[in-house]
Structure 1
Amino acid sequence: MALELEEISLQQKFDEVIASENKLQIQDFLNNQNISDVADLIYNNEDFENQIISHLSIHRAVSVFKILELPTQKRIIQDLPPFKTAELLNELPPDDRTSFLSELPGNAVRELIKTLNPDERKITLSLLGYPENSVGRLMTPDYVYVYEYDSVEDVFNTIRRYAKSSETIDVLYVLNDKGELLDDIRIKDFIMASPDKKVSDLMDGRFISLHAEDDQEVASEVFKMNNRVALPVVSKSNKLLGIITIDDVLWVAEEEYSEDMQKIGGTQALDEPYLEMPLFKLFRKRIGWLVVLFLGEMFTATAMGYFEDEIQKAVVLALFIPLIISSGGNTGSQASTLIIQAMAVGEITISNWWRVIRRELIQGIMLGTVLGLIGFTRVIIWAKILPGLYGAHEVLIGLTVGFSLVGVVLWGTLSGSMLPMILKRCGADPAVSSAPFVATLVDVTGLIIYFSVAYLFLQGILL
């Protein structure tokens, strides 16, 4: 409640200041707000978003622009005066600028790059030259480096001179005269050292680096495993090209998570916000998998047609078809989701397939047994409540349902857990073995298991 009142108060103050049309008053008001509060004002006052950005000091405008959603960024750049657009883009950190430009059409990128000064244009074109989704697209050339023969006093002089334009100074990078990376040293080590000590005396040669062509997901894993706020990016010849910081990696992790969730839901990953995506483009993203799943479900109809004679002889079997196949689909989807998530966070790899299959084999039997007992009990109880509902063989029908559930659930857990690993082994995205896809696969095979068990218990009796 207090937060809501604070937001209302901020909005009221903003309305009053805007209504005054006093440029100095508007500037003072906006420059004294938190960056996140200014972003909220932009989202809540779309008609004034360019006016808000224009009245901010350039450094605060950049800080706000960086945290805005892509559609809002596009509108602002499109409507800002050319000189303000140039000023904003030139002040943006190279990694954030590259990330923004990579989301725009080629003709728009060409026009915006023309607004950059020569140095920034060179940096941007260099970063855009790296493959899409590579570490090179995320790195920034704004970092502080020193040489192995420098003294600690020289290091602090370098920091005073260049730190203002650096993305972070938590870690300093040690180079040789060829520009090759020799080490990275935390600034606290320099603070603790005497001024006359040499950088080479503080080096231990143990450092972790990324390659510019590495996939962004690799960077995410390295950061997570090594608890770092920044990592150097090197070329194949170990030349230091730039650094990548944790804020960029967190953005990548969020984007990858969103894509995986969309794929698990049975659709292609959306490359634009849902509400901003054109309807026909959204249709194309969704229809592909729906057609594939629909064709898969047609095999279910084919399987039922194959067992048509059995269904006519024992119509009672048809009553349990939805129960059987939905149970298998649910357990398969459950297993698939668990494995995809575990693979995404690095908990399991393809080499763990045997451990996974053993665990899911035990899980499948345990889960199937519980559901099978419930299914058997349900048949028996209903037969007592409604005599004649299942004929004179309710126990055999109950056993059929119970053992079918064990088999279908076991198959569901095994296929749901193995399919993502098989796809990963083939070089495909495990997330495409989405819950709907696994469910469709188990639907078809579940019918075969069900009627096979029915033959076992009911052959010569009802079949």
Structure 2
Amino acid sequence: MENIRTASGEDVDPIVLVELLEEHDADIVAQLNELDLETAGSILAELPLDRVIEIFDRPELARAGDLILELPDEFAGQVLKGMSADRAADTLRQLDGPDRTKLLTLLDFETAQSLKLLLAYPEGTAGSIMTTEFVSVPSTYTVAETLKLIREVEHTRETIYAIYVLDPQSRELVRTVTLRQLIMGQPDQSILDIAPDRDPVWVSPDTDREEVARLISIHDLLAVPVLNARHRVLGIVTVDDVVDAILAESTEDVQKFGGVEGIAEPYLQIGFVEMIRKRAGWLSALFLGEMLTASAMQHYSDELEKAVVLTLFIPLIMSSGGNSGSQSTSLLIRALALGQLRLRDWWRVAVREVPTGLTLGAILGVIGMARIALWQQLGIFDYGEHWKLVALTVGLGLVGIVTFGSLAGSMLPFVLKRLGFDPASASAPFVATLVDVTGLMIYFSVALLVLRGTLL
């Protein structure tokens, strides 16, 4: 067996390459993600071009932009040209202007212009995740002509499972035909004869990727075309692109829900300074919010001196309100993300959350009162001669706080979305901080009503 010539121009023992090439692309990517850039780049430079292209086309490959810079210039240009258009655009999007320009100069004019078009669309839109590699035919084609074209261009297209039928004059999208419908047709049939008699589902370049995912899901599509104002096909968004995009979106939402700015890099690859920058802002804002809790306790300092027993239940009260608010927030954020709710549905949510909060609060209130009574009767702790009123204060306080937490937690995502912010910004810590402050006010207001003339 002859030696294999690699991208670096060196002859490599074929046995070594065969062992590496026998591994699955995903396994190679996982190994590359664990290595430093220089080592990973050296390994890629020793692999055949087609395999490197397959590896770079894997969305789970971290630092793709930095890795392609580690390759020899000519080889890097070949890899970028061979990649799917949407993945190549994602790789370039990770780079600074000079590095991006350098790589674009390594490409032919047509490929470079195609990638520049994709890079011009805002991140998170259909335009930014679409690919320009799709199969289209004029409406005058027959089934046989279409199949012949697919066989000729298959290796240059990301998917062939949807064929887009265009008006031969205006190039506007007329119909969409699936590969299955095409195969079932007679060779001499017109492509329009086998196409469904309905307008195709399509999106504009600025459509949010979550909306694209929703359309693909409800219409059970493998791809959706992206059309411009003249109804011409700019590209398509495939189902695998949507999955990758939604995974990234979900990761960002989870991070925001935990009170952290969205971070795209894997945890172990985040720099110390970047980690501090992403976490310090939210943490400082939450700390300032919690200062209001201290102010509320200072306002009721006289009551606390008279009835110290009330302080025993402050952590219980605050955590219950925050937990109920976080539950509502998580449910509403997900429902809004999936399109199950619209802004106009806020009142329906409020009508559901108020009785839900009252019921949940009553359940917790009964448990809290039972706990106080049990501890008092068993002699575990003496809550004083007015322990029954203390138990009633805790029970009613829980009803009010849990109800408010449920209502506030459910309304906050609507408010943020109405103001143009991501509803996921209504993080659990933020809701908990909001409910902590108001919860104390509710708790002590109930205490003033119930314990007036006794402990207060």
TM tier relative to shorter chain: over 0.9
Task: State the Cα RMSD in Å.
Answer: 1.9
Is 1:404 equivalent to 2:397 in the alignment? yes
Partner of 1:270: 263
| Corresponding position: 1:88 with 2:75 | no
1:155 aligns with 2:146: yes
Q: Which residue pairs with 1:424 in the alignment?
A: 417
5 Å-filtered alignment, 1:187-266, equals: 187-203=179-195, 204-266=197-259
* Contact kept? 2:86, 2:129, Cα under 8 Å: yes
Which one of the candidate residues 80, 97, 105 is aligned to 2:88?
Answer: 97
Greater helix fraction, Structure 1 or Structure 2: 1
- Cα 1:145/1:333, change in 2 over 3 Å: same
1:75 CA displacement: 4.3
Query: Could you tell me how far apart the structure 2 residues matched to 1:185 and 1:321 are?
Result: 64
Secondary structure of the residue that 1:132 maps to in structure 2? coil
| Amino acid corresponding to residue 325 of structure 2 in structure 1 | G
Quote the residue 1:124 is aligned against: 115
User: Compared with structure 1, are the counterparts of its residues 77 and 387 closer, same or farther at alpha carbon in structure 2 (3 Å cutoff)?
Assistant: closer
**Residues 325, 255 of structure 1: alpha-carbon distance in 2 compared, 3 angstrom cutoff:** same
Could you state the TM-score of these two structures normalised by the residue count of structure 1? Answer: 0.91
TM-superposed CA distance for 1:23, in Å, is 3.0
Greater shift in the superposed pair: 25-34 or 199-208:
25-34
Aligned pairs for 1:253-402 within 5 A:
253-386=246-379, 389-402=382-395
Query: What is the deviation of 1:44?
Result: 5.5
Given that 1:70 and 1:100 are in contact with CA atoms closer than 8 Å, whether structure 2 keeps it comes out as no
User: Offset of 1:127 from its aligned partner?
Assistant: 1.2
Which string of whole-angstrom CA distances, capped at 9 and with x for unpartnered residues, describes residues 147-198 of structure 1? 1111222212222222221111111110012211111111222222222211
**Structure 1, 198-207 or 32-41: larger mean CA deviation:** 32-41
- Tell me which residue corresponds to 1:181: 173
- Return 98-107 or 348-357, whichever deviates more: 348-357
Relative to structure 2, which stretch is displaced further, 339-348 or 50-59?
A: 50-59
Q: Which residue among 5, 13, 21 is the counterpart of 1:31?
A: 21
Contact 1:143 1:168 in 2 (8 A): yes
**Cα separation, 2, equivalents of 1:239 and 1:162:** 20
Q: Distance in 2 between matches of 1:67 and 1:154?
A: 33
1:330 deviation in Å?
1.3
Structure 1 spans left out of the alignment, 5+ residues:
1-20
Distance 1:89 1:139 in 2: 16
2:20 is matched by which residue type in structure 1?
Answer: L
**What's the offset of the Cα at 1:31?**
3.3
Deviations 1:407-436 (A, max 9, x none): 111111111111111211222111111111
Higher deviation after alignment, 38-47 or 56-65: 38-47
Match of 1:49 in 2: 40
From the superposition, tell whether residues 388 and 71 of structure 1 become closer, same or farther in structure 2 (CA, over 3 Å).
closer
Q: 1:90 to 1:388 in 2, by over 3 A?
A: closer
Distance in 2 between the 1:43 and 1:387 partners? Answer: 57
Q: Give 1:380's aligned amino acid.
A: A
Q: Once structures 1 and 2 are overlaid, which stretch shifts more, 332-341 or 197-206? A: 197-206
What's the counterpart of residue 441 of structure 1? 434
Aligned CA distance change for structure 1 residues 454 and 417 (closer, same or farther; 3 Å): same
- CA gap 1:388/1:249 in 2 versus in 1, 3 angstroms: closer
Distance 1:41 1:308 in 2: 59
User: Is 2:30–2:61's contact at 8 Å kept on the other side of the alignment?
Assistant: no
Contact 1:210–1:234 (Cα < 8 Å) also in 2: yes
Find the aligned partners of 1:391 and 1:193 in 2 and give their Cα distance.
87
Give the CA deviation at 1:346.
2.3
Q: Match of 1:287, as an amino acid?
A: A
Q: Compute the displacement of 1:240 (Å).
A: 1.1
Code of the residue aligned with 2:454 in structure 1: it is I
- Distance in 1, Cα, partners of 2:22 & 2:434: 58
Structure 1, 31-40 or 99-108: larger mean CA deviation: 31-40
CA–CA distance in 1 between the matches of 2:96 and 2:34?
A: 27
Offset, 1:45: 5.8
Match for 1:143 among 124, 131, 134?
134
Residues 202 and 145 (structure 1), Cα distance of their counterparts in 2 relative to 1, 3 Å cut? same
Matches of 1:231 and 1:68, distance apart in 2: 20
Residues of 1 paired with 2:102 and 2:185: CA distance? 49
TM-superposed deviation, 1:248: 0.9
Distance 1:296 1:31 in 2: 55
Label 1:199 to 1:71 Cα distance change in 2 as closer, same or farther (>3 A): closer
- Structure 2 gap segments, 5+ residues each: 1-10
Letter in structure 2 aligned against 1:433: A
Q: Distance in 2 between matches of 1:38 and 1:315?
A: 63
CA distance 1:250–1:158, shift in 2 (3 Å): same
Q: Deviations over 1:304-337 (max 9, x none)?
A: 1111111111111122111111111111112111
| Rounded Cα–Cα distance in structure 1 between residues aligned with 2:339 and 2:191 | 36
Of 271-280 and 332-341, more deviation after overlay is shown by 271-280
2:57 aligns to what SS in structure 1? helix
| SS of equivalent residue, structure 1 residue 244 | strand
Answer yes or no: is the 8 Å Cα contact 1:262–1:269 preserved in 2. yes
| TM-score (normalizing by structure 2) | 0.92
